[in-house]
């Protein structure tokens, strides 16, 4: 099986890239720097607007199989929110991420992207959590990488800019998907994120059918949602109003 390690955001429009990289005629260096800064701000605003369209506005808390918070939260892609999303336990075979044996299984979310062009191929979010004290992060990542190497020897960890130390390893290949009750081998994208909380480490895996619309919408939704990974701190209740 031939696979390649690719998982990234859609490229910015060529016009924007040209505007950022080429000097602006008829202006001094100060004006040029000011305009480039403004363009950079515009890019960030557009990225933020695109992110809002691709992720759920709510915050998703990572829970274990007993519904205990693991101290990590992030945002889900819009396709993973709604009444059609299924929660799969350990007794469901497709709840386990294929070809890998990850520790700390919690449960799995199964969703069918709304824009599936030809047939309803499900996408998955695999949720795992382990104790940070018992599982050093570097050792955990090395164990995962060794397993991933059997699928894609070139795949490696990349840092993710988030509010918690986060890394991601990803690959493309051929994976089994259950479509209308039948198992099919289809091109897919798989990415695994390791998020370090205060006491626990979240291992969040994603897998979906490799199509242009999925890469654009779901792939970027995952990217934006994981970039906001942060500590899941309980919100203190509002104080009772003073008695007059």
18 — pLDDT class (breaks 50, 70, 90): very low
pLDDT at position 53, please?
82
pLDDT at position 27, please?
53
Mean pLDDT of the residues in the chain: 81
Q: Is the pLDDT of residue 23 over 80?
A: no
Q: Rounded to 5 degrees, what are φ and ψ at 124?
A: -135, 145
What is the tens place of the pLDDT at every residue in 143-169? 999 999 988 999 999 999 999 999 999
Q: What is the mean pLDDT of residues 130-147?
A: 96
The 3-class secondary structure across the chain, one letter per residue, is CCCECCCCCCCCCHHHHHHHHCCCCCCCHHHHHHHHHHHHHHHHHHHHHHHHHHECCCCEEEECCCCCEEEEEECCEHHHCCCCCEEECCCCHHHCCCCCCCCCEEEEEEECCCCCCCCCCCEEEEEEEEECCCCCHHHHHHHHHHHHHCCCCCCCCEEECCCCCEEEEEEEEEEEEEECCEEEEEEEEEEEEEEECCCEEEEEEEEEECCHHHHHHHHHHHHHHHCCCEECCCCCCCCCCCCC
Q: Is the pLDDT of residue 46 over 60?
A: no
Q: What is the mean pLDDT of residues 193-213?
A: 95
Closest of 234, 243, 203, 221 to residue 75, by C-alpha: 221
Task: Return the minimum-mean-pLDDT range out of 10-24, 66-80, 124-138.
Answer: 10-24
Q: Rounded to 5 degrees, what are φ and ψ at 181?
A: 85, 0
For the domain made up of 60-231, the CATH class stated in words is alpha beta
Q: Is the pLDDT of residue 14 over 80?
A: no
238 — pLDDT class (breaks 50, 70, 90): low
pLDDT at position 13, please?
41
Ranges of each domain in the chain:
14-54, 60-231
Please report how the helices 14-21 and 29-54 are oriented relative to each other, as an axis angle in degrees rounded to 10.
Answer: 150
What is the tens place of the pLDDT at every residue in 49-71? 566 789 998 899 999 999 999 99
């Amino acid at each position: 099986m031939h696979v390649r390690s690719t998982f990234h955001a859609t490229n910015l429009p060529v016009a924007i890239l040209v505007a950022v990289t080429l000097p602006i005629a008829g202006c001094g260096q100060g004006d040029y720097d000011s305009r480039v800064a403004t363009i950079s701000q515009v890019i960030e605003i557009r990225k933020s607007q695109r992110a809002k369209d691709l992720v759920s506005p709510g915050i998703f808390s990572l829970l274990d199989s007993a519904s205990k918070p693991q101290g990590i939260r992030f945002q889900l892609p819009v396709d993973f929110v709604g009444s059609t999303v299924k929660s799969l336990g350990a007794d469901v075979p497709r709840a386990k991420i294929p070809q890998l044996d990850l520790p700390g299984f919690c449960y799995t979310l199964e969703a069918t992207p709304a824009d599936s062009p030809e047939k309803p191929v499900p996408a998955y979010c695999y949720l795992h959590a382990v104790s940070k004290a018992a599982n050093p992060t570097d050792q955990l990542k090395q164990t995962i990488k060794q397993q991933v190497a059997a699928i894609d020897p070139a795949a490696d960890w990349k840092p993710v800019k988030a509010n918690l130390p986060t890394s991601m390893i990803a690959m493309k290949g051929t994976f089994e998907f259950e479509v209308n009750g039948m198992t099919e081998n289809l091109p897919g994208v798989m990415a695994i994120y390791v998020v370090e909380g205060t006491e626990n480490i979240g291992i969040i895996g994603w897998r979906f059918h490799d199509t242009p619309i999925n890469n654009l919408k779901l792939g970027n939704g995952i990217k934006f949602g994981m970039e906001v990974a942060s500590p899941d701190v309980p919100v203190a209740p509002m104080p009772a109003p003073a008695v007059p």
